[in-house]
């Protein structure tokens, strides 16, 4: 049982390049989330998808786009990468009921030069 | 005001002692709370969930919830160096579609 799988694990980009981070879960969860984590900043929600076919902005959506491809997959795209987007990105998923916790992937470490 | 507040620490506790981590929240509609542990360079890992007022124990961990005072705490008994990590508190209002995370408390257990 893989849980939440993120690819790639590491990536270095040049400013202005584009990139898609992939996330897939095999737990039949309804909701999926993308966070970034910077030193001393905690987890900040970028976008989320409460259910297949819906996406909503979190607290830091600028510079990002998302696609909920199907129930299993939720991708995050950087159209024109900037050094300020250097961060660790975590994908998470959960069952939609409010009492359920989120389960996280291992993260993608992204550096923008 | 952040909806979930934690003291960022660092909190330093001697090995074998009780580590006490605290979290307050502002949304009175919050129904469920979670504690995650995050080792340096790793992803957050769920260690405790609590939904009702009172205490919930799981091994060396005890989560406490007081909805009247709007705080959640995590006690770690017989602290071990392997407990050194950042602990994240998260809350979810009934019907809300996402968790709200605190900034995390960095805990160091000194041998």
User: Which chain B residue has its CA at the smallest distance from A49's CA?
Assistant: B97
d(CA A112, CA B50): 39
Q: How far is the alpha carbon of B100 from chain A, nearest alpha carbon, in Å?
A: 9
Residues of B with CB under 8 A from a CB of A: 8, 31-32, 34, 42-46, 49, 51, 88, 90, 92-99, 101-104
Closest CA to A42 of A81, A95, A90, A79: A90
Please give chain A's pLDDT, 113 residues, in tens: 679 999 999 999 999 999 999 999 999 999 999 999 998 778 999 999 999 999 999 999 999 999 998 999 999 999 999 999 999 999 999 987 767 899 999 999 999 99
What are the distances in angstroms from CA B84 to CA A97, B11, B107?
31, 10, 5
Tell me which of B45 and B98 has the higher pLDDT.
B45
Q: Are strands B45-50 and B54-58 parallel, antiparallel or unpaired?
A: unpaired
Tokens of A39: 């030193």
Interior/surface letters B2-33, b for 16+ CB within 10 angstroms, e for the rest: eebbbeeeebebeeeeebebbbbbeeeebbbb
User: How far off is chain A from B79, nearest CA to CA, in Å?
Assistant: 24
**Paired tokens of A15:** 């400013």
The confidence score (pLDDT) of residue A31 equals 94
Looking at residue B42, its pLDDT comes to: 95
Taking the CA of residue A82 and the nearest CA in chain B, the distance in Å comes to 22
CA distance A76 to A46: 9
Q: What are phi and psi of A108, to 5 degrees?
A: -125, 125
**Residue corresponding to tokens 């993608």:** A108
Quickly count: other Cβ atoms within 10 Å of residue B1's Cβ.
4
Partner residue opposite A98 with nearest CB, options B8, B94, B102: B94
Chain B residue numbers touching A89 (CB-CB < 8 A): none
CB B50: neighbour CB atoms within 10 A?
19
What is the per-residue burial (b if ≥16 Cβ within 10 Å, else e) of A27-40?
A: eebbbbbbbbbeee
Mean pLDDT, range B7-14, rounded to an integer: 90
pLDDT digits (tens, 9 = 90+) for A38-70: 987 789 999 999 999 999 999 999 999 999 989
Give tens-digit pLDDT for B42-89.
Answer: 999 999 999 999 999 999 999 999 999 999 999 999 999 999 999 999
Among chain A residues, CA nearest to B50: A99
Residue B1 has pLDDT above 60, yes or no: no
């Amino acid at each position: 049982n893989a849980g939440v799988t993120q690819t790639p694990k590491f990536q270095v980009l040049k400013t202005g390049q584009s990139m898609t981070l992939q996330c897939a879960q095999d737990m039949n969860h309804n909701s999926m989330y993308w966070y970034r984590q910077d030193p001393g900043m905690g987890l900040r929600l970028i976008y989320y998808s409460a259910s297949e076919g819906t996406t909503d902005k979190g607290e830091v959506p600028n510079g990002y786009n998302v696609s909920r491809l199907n129930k299993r997959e939720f991708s995050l795209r950087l159209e024109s990468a900037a050094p300020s987007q250097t961060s660790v990105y975590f994908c998470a998923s959960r069952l939609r009921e409010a009492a359920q916790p989120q389960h996280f992937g291992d993260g993608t470490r992204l550096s923008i030069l | 005001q952040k909806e979930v507040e934690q003291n960022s620490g660092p909190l330093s506790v001697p090995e074998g002692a009780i580590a006490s981590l605290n979290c307050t929240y502002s949304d009175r509609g919050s129904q469920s709370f979670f504690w995650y542990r995050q080792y340096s360079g790793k992803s957050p890992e769920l260690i405790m969930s609590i939904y009702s007022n009172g205490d919930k124990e799981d091994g060396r961990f005890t989560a406490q919830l007081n909805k009247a005072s709007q705080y959640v705490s995590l006690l770690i008994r017989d602290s071990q160096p392997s407990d050194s990590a950042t602990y994240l508190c998260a809350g979810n209002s009934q019907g809300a579609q996402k968790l709200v995370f605190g900034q995390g408390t960095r805990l160091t257990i000194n041998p």
